[in-house]
Amino acid sequence: MATQVSRTLSLVPDLAKEREVRWPQRSQSRLANGLEVILVESRTIPKFHGELFFRSGNAAAAERAVSLAEMTATMVRTGTARSTSRQIEERLRGVGADLSVSAGQDTTAISFAGLSDHAEPLLQLVSELAREASFPAAEFARERRQKLEEVKLERTQPGFLAGERLRKVLFEKHPYALVSPTEDQVAAYRVDQLQTVYSDFYTPQNAILLLVGDFEAAKMQTEIEQVFGSWSGRKPIAQDWPVPPAPKGRRVYLVHVPGAVQAQILCGCHAITRQHPDWIKLGLTNSLYGGAFNSRLVMNIREDKGYTYSPRSAVNPLRHYGYFSVSAAVRNEVVAASLTEIFYEIDKLRSLAVPESELLDAQNYLTGVFSMGLATQSGLLSQISTLALNELPADYLETYRQKVRALTPGDVLSAARVYFDSADMQIVVVGDREQIESQAALFGELEIYDARGSRLP
C-alpha cells in the first residue's frame, strides 16, 4: 500500500512558485465628528460594498430588553423624517442597491452594496437611515407582529435550538446567553425603547464606515465628508458585566423535539477572542480538528463512518469572550457513537503532536483560503471589517500568513490542551428523546428541555 501511494503521489504536479499576496492600500481617517472611515479601492465589478458599523449591539441593550438592538435595526428602514417605508425601498431599487440593517451581540450594521455610478444617492440614504429614523407607530406594530411569528418559527429549527441552549449553558447570566427573545418579551417591546437605543447607539463617535469597491478613494472621502460631516453624537457608555464562569464537568442538555428524524449535536466550551495572542494558534488547531473538509473530524464521522453530512468545528469569537464548538447532525442510532468519535479526535489532538506533514497541509490551507478574500469586493470587505471591528494590528493581513507558517506541532498540542477543554465540554443534543435519551445520558448528567426552554422531568 505504501509503495502504491508514493507511486501515485509522484504523478501529482508540484505547486508552482507562489505569486506574492499583496493586500490593497487602506485609506483610513477620522472625521471631526468622530466617524472612522476606511476606504479600499477594488475594481473587480463596477460596484461598491459598504458597512456602517456601530460598536454596540444586543449585549449593550440587554439590561433594557432581549434583542432590543435587533428590533431597533429592523425598524430603521421603515421610515425616516423625510421618507416613508415605501419611498425608502423604491429609492434603493432606483439606484440598484441592496441594504440591510441588523444587530448581533456586539455590533449593529447598516450593510449595503450599489452601483458605482449611483454612489452618492446611496450614501445619502444610508446617512438618512443612520440619523433620521422616525419609528412610525403603524410600522412598529407590524414589525413586532412579524417578529412574534419569527421567534415562534425559529423554535422549530434544530440548529437554532442547539445554538440557543449552548449559549445559555456557556454564558448563563451574561448577555451573550441571550440569543433571542420569547414571545412575551417581543410583545413587551415599546417604541420609546427602540428610539432610545437608536439615539444612544447610532452616533458617529460609535461608528465605522467602511467602503470597498470601484471608486477613487480621494473623491469618495470628499463625498463622505459632505454627507456625514454634519452628523453628531457621542459614544455610548459601555457597561461591564461580571465574567461568566466556565462550566465545569461534562453535562448533557437534551432539547426534546417530538418526531425528529435526526439528532443535532452541538458541543462547546469557553475559548478566546480574536484579540488574544493565541488566536491564530487556536485557528490552526481548529482547522486540523474539524474546520476544513480535510480535517480529522470530517474524515472520521463523514468520510469513514457516514454518520453525518456536515460535521464541523469552529472558534466563535464574540467581542469579550469566545467559545469553541463542534456540530454534527447525525442519524438517531449513532448519537453515542458520534459523540465517542468527537471526543476521541479531541483527546487525540490533546495527547499526540500532529505529524509535520499534516501540520504543513493545514498551514497551507489556512494561508491559502485567507487570501481568497482578495479576489472579490465582498471578500475584501469581510476581511477588513474583521480587522476594524476587532481593533487588530494594522499589519494583521500582511503578517497573518507568516504567523501561521511559524507554528509548530508543539503549538498545536498546547492550544488543544488549553482550549479543547474535553473534560468540561458541554453537550447539547436536539432530537426526539425517545430515540436518543439513553445514548445522550452516557456522556454526563442529563437535563431535558422542550423547544420553549422549559425543563422537562
Identify the burial level of 167 via C-beta atoms within 10 angstroms of its C-beta, where 0-12 means exposed, 13-18 middle and 19 or more buried: buried
Four-CA torsion 64, 65, 69, 70, nearest 10 degrees:
180
Residue 95 interacts with another protein (CB under 8 A): yes or no: yes
Q: Pick from 82, 142, 234, 405: which binds another protein (CB under 8 A)?
A: 142
Cβ closest to another protein, residue 98 vs residue 445: 98
Cβ closest to another protein, residue 260 vs residue 389: 260
Phi-psi region of 444 (alpha: psi -120 to 50; beta: other; left: phi over 0): left
Residue 360 interacts with another protein (CB under 8 A): yes or no: yes
Closest distance of CB 436 from another protein, Å: 13
Residue count of the chain? 457
Residue 347 interacts with another protein (CB under 8 A): yes or no: no
Residue 19 interacts with another protein (CB under 8 A): yes or no: yes
Q: Pick from 33, 34, 118, 246: which binds another protein (CB under 8 A)?
A: 118
Residues 149-188 that bind another protein (CB under 8 A): 149-150, 152-153, 155-158
Closest distance of CB 189 from another protein, Å: 17
Residue 337 interacts with another protein (CB under 8 A): yes or no: no
Q: Pick from 30, 82, 93, 405: which binds another protein (CB under 8 A)?
A: 93
Closest distance of CB 287 from another protein, Å: 9
Residue 15 interacts with another protein (CB under 8 A): yes or no: yes
Closest distance of CB 312 from another protein, Å: 12
DSSP 179-210: -S--HHHHHT--HHHHHHHHHHHS-GGGEEEE
Q: Which of 79, 90, 92 is nearest to 129 (CA)?
A: 79
Site string for another protein, 261-280 (x = CB under 8 A): xx-x----------------
Closest distance of CB 235 from another protein, Å: 31
Identity of the amino acid at 61:
A
Chain position carrying cell 425616516: 80
Given the rule CB under 8 A, which of 63-71, 128-136, 246-254, 370-378 is the region that contacts another protein?
Answer: 370-378
Q: Residues 6 or more apart from 82 whose CB is under 8 A from it?
A: 128, 132
Residue 435 interacts with another protein (CB under 8 A): yes or no: no
Identify the burial level of 397 via C-beta atoms within 10 angstroms of its C-beta, where 0-12 means exposed, 13-18 middle and 19 or more buried: buried
Sign of CA dihedral 441, 447, 450, 455: positive
Q: Pick from 379, 414, 435, 441: which binds another protein (CB under 8 A)?
A: 379
Q: Pick from 231, 365, 419, 420: which binds another protein (CB under 8 A)?
A: 365
Chain position carrying cell 441593550: 61
Closest distance of CB 27 from another protein, Å: 18
Is there a contact between 57 and 432 (Cβ–Cβ < 8 Å)?
no
| Residues paired with residue 98 on neighbouring β-strands, in sequence order | 113
What single DSSP character describes residue 395?
T
User: Considering CB under 8 A, how many residues would be counted as binding another protein?
Assistant: 92
Residue 382 and residue 346: Cα distance in Å, rounded?
30
- Number of neighbours of residue 47 by Cβ within 10 angstroms: 23
Closest distance of CB 37 from another protein, Å: 23
Cβ closest to another protein, residue 12 vs residue 237: 12
Residues 292-321 that bind another protein (CB under 8 A): 292-294, 299, 302-310
Residue 81 and residue 17: Cα distance in Å, rounded?
58
Q: Pick from 17, 237, 248, 395: which binds another protein (CB under 8 A)?
A: 17
Closest distance of CB 332 from another protein, Å: 9
Cβ closest to another protein, residue 267 vs residue 451: 451
Q: Pick from 378, 385, 426, 439: which binds another protein (CB under 8 A)?
A: 378
Residue 205 interacts with another protein (CB under 8 A): yes or no: no
Residue 274 and residue 281: Cα distance in Å, rounded?
11
Is there a contact between 73 and 102 (Cβ–Cβ < 8 Å)?
yes
Q: Residues 6 or more apart from 93 whose CB is under 8 A from it?
A: none
Identity of the amino acid at 98:
D
| Residues paired with residue 407 on neighbouring β-strands, in sequence order | none
Residue 336 interacts with another protein (CB under 8 A): yes or no: no
Cβ closest to another protein, residue 27 vs residue 44: 44
Cβ closest to another protein, residue 115 vs residue 246: 115
